Structure 1
Amino acid sequence: MPSELRDVSAPRSGKGPVHVAFGVDAGYYRGMGVTITSVVENNPGRDFVFHVFAFSITADNRDKLEKLEKQLGVTVRLHLLDTATLDDFRQFPCFSKHSLGTFIRLLIPSRLRDVTDKVLYLDADLLCFGDLSELLTIDLGDNIAAAVADEKDTTVKTQIPALGLKHGHYFNAGVMYIDVRNWVAADVQQVALKSLTTLDMRFADQDALNIALDGRIRYIDPKWNFRYHLVDYLTRGETTLNVSQPYVFMHFTGPVKPWHNWCLHDVRELFTDIQSRSPWAESPLDAPRTTRELKLFSRFLITQHRIAEGIYWHCRYLKSRLMQKLKSS
């Protein structure tokens, strides 16, 4: 049974609560907390139940989740998953290629089958800027979920044929409004888990979901999952948020997140402003840690003509890379 944080809120409207789910690992609790804060702030008066699925949690993050529900007047339920859930798939060749966090998104709806008929799944690296009413009233019919199509030429040309998708569409799984009963009836969890653990996939659990839900997706307006790939903008030296099309959810895909102190873009300040109204208010932003992050940071600095700083961080990158080679030799 999932462990649950204390329910401190009564419904704030005559309608039933909106169930929102996240799947997180250690590095995403802060991002999720700020996402939740942005959702609640932009939907005043709506009753929410936020479900947090994870394989582990620190005492500090557990404490912050308890503070979050008190501060926002919402319900937060923590579901700690047992790794034994995945035992049937450990034998397959691709299982070991994935971290445990990769599997969480596939497990969520089945665990809510006795809780709600509909759940809004959100990645923990996005922010909400608007009212969810339109999304929550979508008629899914016989579809399993509503999601936004990924229409990048590279995705259409590679993933659709690679995965054998018969209906010619590929969706981004960062925002999904899910009909839980249809999901369970179609055995999506098992189909997706088997695909993920037996096939070599470029986008892991997202590819597996595209296989399992092929032909059962209602495609919705891009405003519900507007992808903002920060590394592309920063590589070009662009630091200002300038978007002409409407968006409700802005999804920060890619290796650069707005909670990185080396994210030299306006969205970092946008994120920290919302973070300041959450239990993570005093948490410092993440410094570059991996070799890849050090390399990207040095590149962004040089692109912005901060040459001396860029050279310093490039030297840090070269040192990190050398250390990696020495460890592997």
Structure 2
Amino acid sequence: MYHLVFSADENYIKYTSVLITSIVLNTDKSKKIQDFDKNSNIKNEKYFFHILSNFISDKTREKLLNLQNDLNIIFPCEIIIHIKNDEDFKNFPISGAAHSLKLPYYRLKLSSIFNEKIEKCLYLDSDMLCICDIREVFAIDLKGRVVGVVGDPGSKKSKIKFKENNKKKTFYFDENYFNSGFLLINLEEYKKYDIERKCEELASKCYYIKAADQDLLNATIETKLRYKFDFAYNFSTIAFCYVICKDENKNRLNHTRDEFNKSIKNPKILHYGEKPWKFLKSYFDYKGNNINDYWWDVASKTPVFNEELLKSKKDITNYLLCAGLGRELFDAILKFNFLKVNFLIKNTSHDEKYIQKAKSIENDFFGICCILGNAIFYARYYKKNFFGVYFKALKIIYNFKKYHFKSRN
């Protein structure tokens, strides 16, 4: 039995259904769990897909039941819904992904939904796509550790600030900081070390926290209690554009360049930054394929939800504006055209022209344009000034030019 957990609100269920479908479709029915773990005593293999949510309508519940029935024909599976209440997380601060709802915190109380007989579960973010047989993850021996994790490719200079005994304290993260989108949890050890209580206790004391549940888990689970997975199992798609490895900067991705280059050639689970339901095109993989096409291919095969998803695909165009703005910003930075940078932020009258220009951006350059375009979107939405965009873009372009082609060798 394999227990997988996702968190999704009513609007996100259709995207979760694509991830669930990718897991089922990539299960090799010619193999048994013993092909991955010869010591396993599992006989009746079945997926249990647990969805944590704050609300799911009757209509969506019916869709999920039909999805279950259709996928069950391919491989035994069951979808189970767990409704939680934001009120149960009143002590948890508004932060990062939890800026409007407390849904991201729901994963912290995973152990409470399972009985003592279940040894491990796998939590996955809904903006992922499985392209391996997921049973190989469950076959991993965590060797008594609390959780199996994948390092986050971002900067490790973040911190949590909290008050304890009326004194201000700061917890600094290090190079072992992990991404909470992939968590293979040893439920016995998770309970033994009382991770749920520790997270809530720390959350109630925080007055500065950036990445919600992710920061709390990193602060409460000691490094020695973590099993380190290859980056391939939580392959953050921005890494197709560029990534900085630990032999280049210890505070970035906690894998060497050689280790990373093995992962980029054979990613197991893709973790999308530019969501495919918003971007029809973003990064291109080692084989030169548009990674968003992989997601849409599975979406077209997803029972029940495929028609709704494909219908929405026709209206996705904003990514072209994003890439077009990014292309203009790239050129403006290289030419030290400060007025142009400011114009891109303040003026929207030329947006249609940028959309048209985006259609001619070469594939290998499209991803960096999306990243830069998002910087313009952010500045427009939050009314940021020229300086923030300029220095951010300067850093992005520098890293792209220095590290992009290292991932292709």
TM-score (norm 2): 0.60
| Paired amino acid for 2:9 | D
Secondary structure, counterpart of 2:144 in structure 1: coil
Distance (Å, rounded) in 2 between the aligned partners of 1:107 and 1:27: 22
Corresponding residue of 1:239: none
Show the 5 A alignment for 1:8-19.
Answer: 17-19=1-3
Shift of 1:261: 5.1
> What are the superposed Cα offsets for residues 107-140 of structure 1, whole Å, 9 maximum, x if unpaired?
2222214462110111101111112343212222
Amino acid at match of 1:53: L
Instruction: Say if 1:69 and 1:75, in contact at 8 Å, map to a contact too.
Output: yes
- Structure 2 matches for 1:28-67, cutoff 5 A? 28-45=12-29, 46-67=45-66
Q: Residues 93 and 68 from structure 1, CA distance in 2 versus in 1: closer, same or farther, beyond 3 angstroms? A: closer
Which runs of no fewer than 5 residues in structure 2 stay unpaired? 30-44, 162-169, 243-262, 284-289, 329-350, 359-372, 384-409
1:299 to 322, 325, 343: 322
Q: 1:226 — aligned with what?
A: 235
1:310 is matched with which residue? Answer: 355
Structure 1 gap segments, 5+ residues each:
1-16, 234-242, 325-329
What's the secondary structure of 2:306's corresponding residue? coil
DSSP-derived class of the 1:260 partner: coil
In the TM superposition, what are the counterparts of 1:1-329 in structure 2 within 5 Å?
A: 17-45=1-29, 46-73=45-72, 74-87=77-90, 89=91, 99-114=101-116, 116-152=118-154, 154-155=155-156, 157-159=157-159, 163-165=171-173, 169-199=176-206, 200-215=208-223, 216-229=225-238, 244-253=264-273, 256-260=274-278, 263=281, 266-278=290-302, 279-283=304-308, 284-285=311-312, 297-303=320-326, 308=353, 310=355
Shift of 1:262: 5.5
Tell me the C-alpha RMSD between the 2 structures: 3.8
CA contact (8 A) 1:37 1:274 kept: yes
Change (3 A) 1:232 1:297: farther
Query: What CA distance in whole angstroms lies between the structure 2 residues aligned with 1:259 and 1:173?
Result: 22
The 1-side partners of 2:266 and 2:357 are apart by: 39
Return the alpha-carbon distance in structure 2 between the equivalents of residues 297 and 197 of structure 1. Answer: 42
CA shift, 1:192, in A, is 1.4
What's the CA shift for 1:97?
5.2
Q: Which residue of 1 aligns with 2:390?
A: none
1:232 to 1:223, Cα distance in 2 relative to 1, 3 A = closer
Q: CA deviation at 1:175?
A: 0.9
CA contact (8 A) 2:131 2:269 kept: yes
Instruction: Describe the SS at the equivalent of 2:140.
Output: coil
Cα distance, 1:194 vs structure 2: 2.9
TM-score by length of 1: 0.73
* Secondary structure of the structure 1 residue equivalent to 2:59: helix
The percent identity for this pair of structures is 22
Taking the aligned partners of 2:306 and 2:182, their CA distance within structure 1 comes to 25
Alignment deviations for residues 168-206 of structure 1 (CA, whole Å, 9 cap, x no partner): 511111111101111112111121123334322121110
Determine the C-alpha separation between the residues in 1 that align with 2:50 and 2:230. 25
**Cα 1:26–1:232 shift into 2, 3 Å:** farther
1:59–1:312 Cα change, 3 Å: farther
Q: 1:112 to 1:287 in 2, by over 3 A?
A: farther
> One-letter code of the match for 1:245?
K
Name which one, 1 or 2, has greater alpha-carbon Rg. Answer: 2
Residue 52 of structure 1 and its aligned partner are, at CA, apart by: 0.7
1:29/1:312 CA distance change after superposition, 3 Å: farther
Partner Cα distance (2:115, 2:315) in 1: 40
Whichever residue aligns with residue 28 of structure 1, its letter is Y
CA 1:178–1:195: 2 relative to 1, 3 Å: same
Alpha carbons of structure 1 residues 272 and 59: separation in structure 2 relative to 1, 3 Å: farther
SS in 2 for 1:75: strand
What is the CA-CA distance between 1:230 and the residue it aligns to? Answer: 8.6
- Shift in Å, 1:143: 1.0
Structure 2 CA distance for aligned equivalents of residues 148 and 251 of structure 1? 11
SS of 1:140's partner is: coil
Kept in 1: contact 2:280–2:293 (CA 8 A): no
Which stretch of the first structure deviates more once superposed, 197-206 or 262-271?
Answer: 262-271
Question: Are the equivalent residues in 2 in contact too, given 1:107–1:189 (CA < 8 A)?
Answer: yes
The secondary structure found in structure 1 opposite 2:307 is coil
* Alignment-mate amino acid for residue 202 of structure 1: K
Q: Which residue of 2 aligns with 1:8?
A: none
